[in-house]
Amino acid sequence: MGIDRVHEVSRRLVASLSSIVRGQDAAVRDLVIALLSGGHVLLEGPPGLGKTLLVRTLASLVRAEFRRIQFTPDLMPADVTGTTIFRPQTGEFEFQRGPLFTQLLLADEINRTPPKTQAALLEAMQERQVTLDGHTHALPEPFLVVATQNPIEYEGTYPLPEAQLDRFLMKVVVGYPDGAAEREILDAHAARLELTPRGAEDLTPVIDAEEIRELRDAASKTFVEESVLDYIAAICRASREHRSISLGASSRAMVLLLFAAKVGAAVEGRDFVRPDDVKSVAPAVLRHRLILRPESEVEGVGPDHVIRDLLQSVALPRGADDGPEQP
């Protein structure tokens, strides 16, 4: 299995997702890249823009175990991870697995629950395991968390701490679609009084859990020139020196930016990374990892403004668009 297969599967996933969730092309592409990178995704946007629908549609296209947790203010950590219960019949304690034990998890409105319950996902997202009462329980593979959240300015939300945000490969912003896309949305709902778009129930799976692992292995072999590696490092170093940022991109952020760029290139059908691949995934990989100075936030400067500034200020490597040199 090679890059051609990655490209073909990605094309089918993107086409199917876009046929149901219209006007969110960038979010769809980033979600597919994250799936094939093995990284978790945080979807942020106002209610009613299709965040939950996007994840449910992805679940119908991937033949894997899927569960949803609706995060609420009264949700407890044990409701997520599971708990140990006593069995009088055997006189022993038994671990009752929570909904976290699945392959594709939708953590819906994750910032509606207090930080203590949010933190229940920390170990699972990083280590792919849950430790309870001194015992470690492995999670199934592949394991992908796609969390949705409303913008933090909305009432009744709890901002995710930096350690939690750092567990997400990407933060994907779901915005309002353009006029043409909204007209398509109306057409999809005009024939019936249901919020589920026409065609959603007719989707057939594109890949299964085993093939996801194989596609990830294929994408990991995408070639990266040294000049592109230098470019990625330069972007992250520049973020630490930017006048609007108090805390820039970490070494982990730099490595994840590389992973996402490699998969992004494979999704496009190329076996080498271009600088444009880095630029296309940089906003989603970095926007939740940059902490702005208070005065910058007061002036209305956001992470995306800073990332655009960084990408414009860091010089592009020469000759990297042509791929590896041929012998």
- Element of type H or E holding 104: strand 104-108
Residue 156: pLDDT over 50: yes
**Tens digits of residue pLDDT in 118-134:** 888 888 998 999 988 78
pLDDT band of 152, cuts 50, 70, 90 = low
Residue 302: pLDDT over 90: no
Domains and CATH numbers, the chain: 1-75+101-202 (3.40.50.300), 222-320 (1.10.8.80)
pLDDT on residue 327: 45
pTM for the whole structure: 0.89
Rounded CA-CA distance 121/78 in Å is 11
Query: Which has the higher per-residue pLDDT, 62 or 319?
Result: 62
Q: Which residue carries 């041929």 as its tokens?
A: 326
Q: For the ranges 105-109, 200-204, 237-241, 285-289, which has the lowest average pLDDT?
A: 200-204
Of 35, 33, 18, 30, nearest in space to 283 by CA: 30
